[in-house]
């Protein structure tokens, strides 16, 4: 198979605009964070995670049974993939988990990067420890924010799924997605890979299927060959295992207490990503997922459609745990309670709230996983590579602003016409001499000299700006090309991974694109990777 990307350049977190302090501190293993984690993300310490991870045979048995049932919805009973699922029952099998919402057609590129990082992490840990370590994708099927997941973008055009579904997204029927697929197909110019990609979409996103089933089928087609196991945890039996935590949440509010202990320490240095609530559960019915609120001694949903006493709420929890959905505070604990998980993969925002949770995990004697920051990539096509070379933009400066690119280019183009440093130095020397001479006459006049200096420096700065503007105008075409290039690589000044979507790249490159991203993903160094279709410039050593 012909490679898409022939060059690769990695950047340290400090070279990447937008990485928060908590991320850079975590990756540099700041001692301040030691109280909020089990281990820093190092491959050589992952074996210790395996030693502390305890999962009962009963939990493994229930987990395997549920995953098998979910795969039987789209895989024949004799499919070899069931052997991989069955291996989760073995005490020497562990998992690395990533999770995300059910974005239609695979979502933005960073969803792919998260899964690829998970797959590659499992590979490396297996090799390092000799254990069977499987990548698991946790479908956030209970999330009800349809606005975030119901659209995609292909070659600059936005396509939105017309749906009025209000409840847990996984239960939404795929009605209308076949029509959306047909619309995209009619708009897109046929490519070598488009026929296969659209056939796959039509097969997975059929009317009558739930979005959870469609997403699992689609992701299995993309990642099944890498051993990725998919889990929809919206399940009665899994929730039943989590029942003690959910009961405690409404009765004792331990989650709020333990998480706030961590928050009080973290807020001295970082922005707090997530604040726990008194009750950290939603109540789900068909077409509805409402937050549960405590009013003195009673409880109700935010829409006031349901109300309980503590006794009646506890009783319903015990009878129907599947009706209750953990929020962002409890969901990680739910995940780690039912999986043989030793590491979890996520983005910067996820890292920020996971660091708040360790004390809650300790209260329930659940081992806190190693958090691996997912990979981020910048994909540079041949045209962009050519322009980067033309304007002498090196990979280490790729995150500079367009203004910085333009200034660097103009300075290089007109090195002798814009440098006023000699004049500034001469002015400083003259003013210093004048100040010295004036002070001999009357020291009270020195501030007047300083005022003249400030005024002249401002005038020179204004002149410098005008000169630079004039030189930019001489190179107007190049300036516009630089702005256009920056917009292409960082649409709306946002990371490419959040603005461009997997579907577009599948149409352009086929499933080989997924294979290359999986191969390049490596969450242990915690670096940002630039992948280029042709050779990038390198600074001369």
Q: Where are the domains of the chain?
A: 397-493
Q: How many CB atoms lie within 10 A of CB 246?
A: 24
**Can you give the pLDDT at residue 416?**
63
**Can you give the pLDDT at residue 19?**
85
Give the distance, in angstroms, between the CA of residue 385 and the centroid of all CA atoms in the same chain: 25
Give the distance, in angstroms, between the CA of residue 115 and the centroid of all CA atoms in the same chain: 10
Give the distance, in angstroms, between the CA of residue 525 and the centroid of all CA atoms in the same chain: 16
**Can you give the pLDDT at residue 73?**
98
**Can you give the pLDDT at residue 436?**
84
Going from the first residue of the chain to its last (541 residues), give the mean pLDDT of each consecutive group of 10, the final group possibly shorter: 90 83 94 97 94 96 98 97 98 98 98 98 97 98 97 98 96 98 97 96 97 99 98 98 98 98 97 97 96 96 95 98 98 98 97 98 98 97 96 94 91 71 78 83 81 82 78 85 96 96 98 97 90 90 57
**Closest to 117 measured CA to CA, from 99, 92, 102:** 99
Burial class (CB within 10 angstroms; exposed 0-12, middle 13-18, buried 19+) of 468: middle
Give the pTM: 0.92
**Can you give the pLDDT at residue 350?**
97
**Can you give the pLDDT at residue 419?**
64
**Can you give the pLDDT at residue 526?**
78
**Can you give the pLDDT at residue 468?**
74
**Can you give the pLDDT at residue 145?**
94
Measured at the CA of 469, the angle between CA 465 and CA 472, to 5 degrees, comes to 140
The first and second tokens of residue 37, run together, are 């984690």
Do 81 and 327 touch, CB atoms closer than 8 A? Answer: no
Do 284 and 302 touch, CB atoms closer than 8 A? Answer: no
Phi, psi angles (nearest 5°) of residue 254: -65, -35
What is the C-alpha separation between 5 and 379, in angstroms, rounded? 8
Q: How many CB atoms lie within 10 A of CB 450?
A: 12
């Amino acid at each position: 198979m012909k490679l898409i990307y022939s060059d690769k350049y990695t950047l340290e977190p400090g070279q990447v605009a937008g990485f928060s302090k908590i991320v850079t501190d975590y990756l540099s293993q700041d001692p301040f964070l030691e109280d909020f984690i089990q281990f820093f993300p190092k491959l050589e310490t992952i074996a210790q995670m395996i030693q502390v991870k305890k999962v009962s045979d009963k939990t493994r048995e229930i987990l395997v049974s549920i995953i098998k049932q979910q795969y039987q919805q789209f895989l024949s009973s004799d499919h070899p993939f069931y052997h991989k699922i069955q291996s989760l029952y073995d005490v020497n099998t562990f998992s690395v988990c990533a999770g995300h919402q059910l974005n239609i057609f695979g979502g933005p590129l960073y969803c792919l990067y998260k899964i690829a990082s998970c797959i590659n992490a499992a590979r490396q840990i297996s090799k390092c420890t000799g254990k069977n370590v499987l990548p698991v994708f946790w479908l956030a099927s209970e999330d009800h924010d349809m606005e975030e997941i119901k659209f995609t973008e292909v070659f600059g055009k936005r396509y939105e799924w017309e749906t009025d579904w209000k409840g847990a997204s996984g239960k939404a029927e795929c009605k209308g997605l076949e029509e959306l697929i047909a619309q995209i197909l009619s708009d897109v110019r046929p490519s070598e890979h488009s026929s296969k990609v659209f056939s796959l979409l039509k097969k997975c996103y059929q009317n009558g299927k739930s979005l959870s089933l469609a997403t699992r089928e689609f992701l299995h087609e993309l990642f099944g060959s890498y051993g990725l196991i998919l889990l929809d945890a919206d399940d009665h039996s899994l929730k039943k295992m989590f029942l003690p935590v959910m009961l405690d949440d409404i009765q004792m509010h331990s989650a709020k207490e333990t998480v706030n202990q961590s928050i009080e320490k973290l807020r001295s240095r970082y922005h707090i990503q997530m604040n726990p609530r008194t009750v950290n559960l939603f109540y789900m019915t068909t077409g509805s997922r409402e937050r549960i609120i405590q009013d003195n001694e009673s409880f109700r949903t935010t829409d006031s459609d349901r109300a309980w006493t503590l006794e009646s709420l506890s009783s319903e929890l015990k009878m129907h745990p599947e009706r209750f959905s953990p929020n962002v505070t409890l969901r990680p604990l739910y995940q780690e309670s039912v999986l043989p998980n030793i590491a979890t993969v996520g983005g910067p925002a996820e890292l920020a709230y996971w660091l708040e949770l360790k004390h809650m995990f300790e209260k329930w004697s659940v081992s806190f996983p190693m958090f691996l920051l997912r990979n981020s990539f910048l994909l540079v096509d041949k045209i962009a590579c050519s322009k980067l070379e033309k304007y002498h933009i090196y990979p280490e400066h790729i995150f500079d602003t367009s203004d910085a690119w333009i200034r660097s280019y103009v300075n290089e183009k007109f090195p002798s016409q814009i440098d006023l440093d000699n004049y500034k130095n001469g002015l400083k020397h003259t003013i210093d001499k004048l100040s010295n001479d004036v002070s001999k006459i009357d020291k009270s006049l020195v501030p007047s000299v300083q005022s003249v200096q400030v005024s002249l420096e401002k005038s020179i700065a204004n002149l410098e700006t005008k000169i630079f503007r004039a030189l930019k105008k001489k190179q107007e075409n190049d300036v516009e090309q630089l702005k256009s290039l920056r917009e292409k690589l960082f649409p709306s000044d946002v990371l490419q991974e959040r603005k461009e979507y997997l579907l577009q790249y599948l149409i352009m490159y086929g499933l080989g694109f997924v294979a290359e991203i999986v191969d390049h993903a490596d969450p242990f160094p915690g670096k940002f990777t630039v992948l280029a279709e042709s050779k990038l410039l390198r600074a001369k050593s």
